[in-house]
């Protein structure tokens, strides 16, 4: 059953409908969100993709954009100790983003926004867009906006966290509450010292040990926190995207442009 938001996802459109939207001056959004990445005992493996597509749909309504299919495989090396979690090498992921972005830009969209729900993916996406050297593309980092950072600092009760934690679980209680098994939520141990690196499900001596795969305390999550965090994310990214579009001197020629590799 189709919904009103389907009109902005190109997978639900015919190619000539996509061409018509581009001719009318829309921007493009490329969501990046893992479909096969552990999120503790209590959240599904496609948690990042659910967030990426929800955020992309809200952004498309705010800035008039069409949405390309989500890049659901990426550079996620911290999670491969947990069954089912997939990670590409950084160069492979970077090349993937380069080629997809070049193709989208080549169709003449007003601008391209790469909406990235990851952390380990951030540097690779930055490199991919820098390699393109194209002023029509902007990397939207969902956790980096000032409103989100203020909200996260105010709401967070956990001692540490960044993955399947209090904040991410709160967001999922809004987006897909039927997929959140709160009875299985399990906090990771308090940090012995700050040592970034892959999470481990078996090495209890590791500073990054987490039996469940959570990094933080998802038991503190609430739907109310999630609603505030999501509103802050969308407002931050809409402001960044609107400023980016306003700063462009004029919309590009709507004829298909060739972007060389």
85 occurs within a structural domain: yes
179-228 confidence digits (pLDDT tens): 999 999 999 987 665 666 789 999 888 888 899 999 999 999 999 999 99
Mean pLDDT within 56-77? 97
pLDDT greater at residue 258 or residue 152: 152
**β-strands 137-141, 27-32: how paired?**
unpaired
1 occurs within a structural domain: no
pLDDT band at 255 (very low <50, low <70, confident <90, very high): very low
Position 135 scores a pLDDT of 79
pTM for the whole structure: 0.91
**pLDDT higher than 80, residue 171:** yes
17 occurs within a structural domain: yes
Q: Which whole-number Å values give the CA distances from 176 to 7, 151, 220, in the listed order?
A: 21, 21, 17
259 occurs within a structural domain: no
What residues contact 245, with CB distance under 8 A and at least 6 apart?
27, 63, 110, 111
224-249 confidence digits (pLDDT tens): 999 999 999 999 999 999 999 998 75
Position 254 scores a pLDDT of 43
CATH number of the domain where residue 218 is located: 3.40.50.10310
Phi, psi of 141 (to 5 degrees): -105, 110
> What is the number of structural domains in the chain?
1
48 occurs within a structural domain: yes
Position 4 scores a pLDDT of 58
Q: Are 215 and 79 in contact (CB under 8 A)?
A: no
66 occurs within a structural domain: yes
206 occurs within a structural domain: yes
Containing structural domain, residue 100: 7-247
Q: Are 208 and 195 in contact (CB under 8 A)?
A: yes
pLDDT greater at residue 235 or residue 260: 235
């Amino acid at each position: 059953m189709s919904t009103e938001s389907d009109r902005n996802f190109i997978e639900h459109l015919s190619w000539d409908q996509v061409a018509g939207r581009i001719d009318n001056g829309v921007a493009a959004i490329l969501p990046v969100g893992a479909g096969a990445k552990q999120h503790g005992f209590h959240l599904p493996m496609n948690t990042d993709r659910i967030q990426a597509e929800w955020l992309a749909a809200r952004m498309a309504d705010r800035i008039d954009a069409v949405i390309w299919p989500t890049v659901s495989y990426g550079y996620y090396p911290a999670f491969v100790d947990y069954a089912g979690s997939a990670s590409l090498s950084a160069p492979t992921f970077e090349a993937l983003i380069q080629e997809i972005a070049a193709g989208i830009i080549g169709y003449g969209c007003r601008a391209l926004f790469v909406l990235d729900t990851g952390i380990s993916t951030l540097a690779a996406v930055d490199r991919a867009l820098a390699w393109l050297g194209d002023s029509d593309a902007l990397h939207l980092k969902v956790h980096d906006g000032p409103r989100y950072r203020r909200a996260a600092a105010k709401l967070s009760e956990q001692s540490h966290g960044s993955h399947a934690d209090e904040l991410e679980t709160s967001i999922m209680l809004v987006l897909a509450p039927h997929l959140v098994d709160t009875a299985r939520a399990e906090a990771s141990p308090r940090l012995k010292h700050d040592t970034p690196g892959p999470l481990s499900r078996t090495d209890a001596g590791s500073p990054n040990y987490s039996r469940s795969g959570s990094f933080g305390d998802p038991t503190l999550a609430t739907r109310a926190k999630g609603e505030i965090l999501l509103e802050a994310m969308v407002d931050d990214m809409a402001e960044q995207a609107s400023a980016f579009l306003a700063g462009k001197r004029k919309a590009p020629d709507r004829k298909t442009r060739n972007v060389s590799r």
